[in-house]
């Protein structure tokens, strides 16, 4: 997926050539290229619209696939933390001492998941498209 985005982005120049181009046109091209990269990255996502809107907000005109994936990881981490923190259902269930302990275990699992996401992000920093086969198993997800 990252390789596909990298290829798509590298084949979409952000400037039409010469050095005397219009700055607003260049900015418009940059935004267009970012939108294309975001759409390509979110295409296989189960929640495509949510992925695109979240990533577009934090992409800041990025077209580098690694930067976009990094932003996606940060969004996932923050969403995970916010969901646990702000869930009225979880707050209600936590009134029961046994359920509270179960939620603490769940919170530990969430932290482990966040650590796994961070390790994946670190692995992405060392990603070499010519050796993508090494990383394929780490990128597989189950679509429900």
- Domain that residue 21 falls in: 2-139
The beta strand positions in the chain, using DSSP E, are none
Q: Confirm whether 101 is domain-assigned.
A: yes
Least confident of 5-9, 50-54, 127-131: 5-9
Q: What confidence tens digit (pLDDT) does each residue in 91-101 have?
A: 898 899 999 99
Task: Write the CA distances from 138 to 94, 96, 104, integer angstroms.
Answer: 34, 38, 27
Residue 85 has a pLDDT of 86
51 is a domain residue: yes
Residue 75 forms part of a structural domain: yes
Phi-psi region of 21 (alpha: psi -120 to 50; beta: other; left: phi over 0): beta
> pLDDT digit string (tens) for 22-77?
555 555 665 677 888 888 888 888 989 998 998 888 877 787 877 888 888 888 88
The distance of Cα 136 from the centroid of its chain, to the nearest Å, equals: 17
State how many domains the chain has: 1
Q: What is the pTM of this model?
A: 0.56
The answer as to whether 69 is a domain residue is yes
Give the angle 66-69-70 at the CA atoms, nearest 5°.
80
Whether 105 is in a domain gets the answer: yes
pLDDT of 15 > 80? The answer is no
Q: How far is CA 3 from the centre of its chain?
A: 15
Instruction: Say if 144 falls within a structural domain.
Output: no
Q: Are 73 and 125 in contact (CB under 8 A)?
A: no
């Amino acid at each position: 997926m990252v390789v596909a985005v990298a290829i798509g982005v590298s084949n979409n120049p952000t400037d039409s050539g010469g050095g005397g181009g219009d700055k607003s046109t260049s900015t418009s091209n940059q935004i267009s290229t970012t939108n294309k990269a975001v759409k390509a990255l979110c295409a296989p996502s189960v929640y495509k619209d949510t992925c695109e809107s979240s990533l577009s907000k934090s992409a800041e005109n990025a077209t580098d696939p690694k930067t976009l994936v990094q932003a996606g990881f940060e969004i996932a981490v923050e969403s995970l933390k916010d969901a646990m923190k702000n869930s009225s259902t979880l707050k209600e269930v936590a009134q029961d001492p046994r359920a509270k302990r179960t939620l603490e275990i769940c919170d530990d699992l969430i932290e482990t998941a966040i650590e796994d996401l961070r390790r994946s992000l670190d692995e992405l920093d060392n990603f070499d498209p010519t050796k993508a086969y090494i990383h394929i198993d780490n990128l597989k997800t189950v679509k429900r």
